[in-house]
Amino acid sequence: MNYRPLGSSKLLVSEIALGSWLNVSEGDAKAKAIACVRRALERGITLIDTANVYGRGVAERVLGEALSTVRRDTYVLATKLFFPMSSTDRGLSRDQIHKQLDASLLRLRVDYVDLYQCHRYDADTPLEETMAALSEVVRAGKVRYIGFSEWPVDRVEAALAIPGVEKFVSSQPQYSLLHRGPELALLPLCAKNGISQIVWSPLAQGILTGKYQPGGKLPRDSRAANDAINGFFNQTWLQPTVLQAVQLLRPIAAEAGLTLTQFALAWVLRQPNLAAAIIGASRPEQIDENAAASGRQVPVELFDRAETIMAQSAG
């Protein structure tokens, strides 16, 4: 496993990070989730990413249990806030930042988190209030560094211009061969200001694993087939032209000596402004395959060919 600096912070994080949006839950799935956390640590994955809203606290509780016997200085823990936790609890106000952070720390069984992220931008709270409150929790020792996810670029610029407050060290955008929007403005801005990317959905919600076949039925265990979550799924990626293009990437990945999944992760990791790519896993074997993408050297020509194929599919 390779490690990269997280923006202007003093943290080094693993290139592959373990996420917990859909794969960490209680009940029958909890044992598998804990097994995945342990396998991730064994494979050198040190960045664990979660959010208070994942399962309305469930993911944080399970991670707290999984990490309870692990030395705190051996992993980097990141969580987020913004989305509703109740009919009245949401957003990035000063009260919510303090309240939600304390609740997250309790569920995670830790005294501090390494990275506290604003899950989205809160247009209903003055930006100055949000940044001041984030600075307060850093000074209190409950948070080491702060970040944001999917903020408008102009709001990031405005936050960076506020004097006397903590500065962001991380950004968490969606980014993959099928979603390259951050390259236009976000990545250049972040590169100039000591902010690294921790990207989510580097496999385009599983599309870039190649498991969705053109004209085939949706795999039963896939996100697209799960009625509870497919409202979040980008249905345009299930178009035959896109799925056919993904299959054309297989021989290119093979030329690089990689699986299709590893190739898609390696493409994301080629980005110099990137600190880590977040993966989700429901089985330890998936951790093994994804972790193996770290540190792989791929000829630029292969990436260029892949980009051309995917761009043509979007037509």
Active site residues: 54
**Phi-psi sector, 270: left (phi>0), alpha (psi -120 to 50), beta:** alpha
Per residue, what are the HEC states of the chain? CCEEECCCCCCEEECEEECCCCCCCCHHHHHHHHHHHHHHHHCCCCEEECCCCCCCCHHHHHHHHHCCCCCHHHCEEEEEECCCCCCCCCCCCHHHHHHHHHHHHHHHCCCCEEEEEECCCCCCCCHHHHHHHHHHHHHCCCEEEEEECCCCHHHHHHHHCCCCCCCEEEECCECECCECHHHCCHHHHHHHCCCEEEEECCCCCCHHHCCCCCCCCCCCCCCCCCCCCHHHCCHHHHCHHHHHHHHHCHHHHHHCCCCHHHHHHHHHHCCCCEEEEEECCCCHHHHHHHHCCCCCCCCHHHHHHHHHHHHHHHC
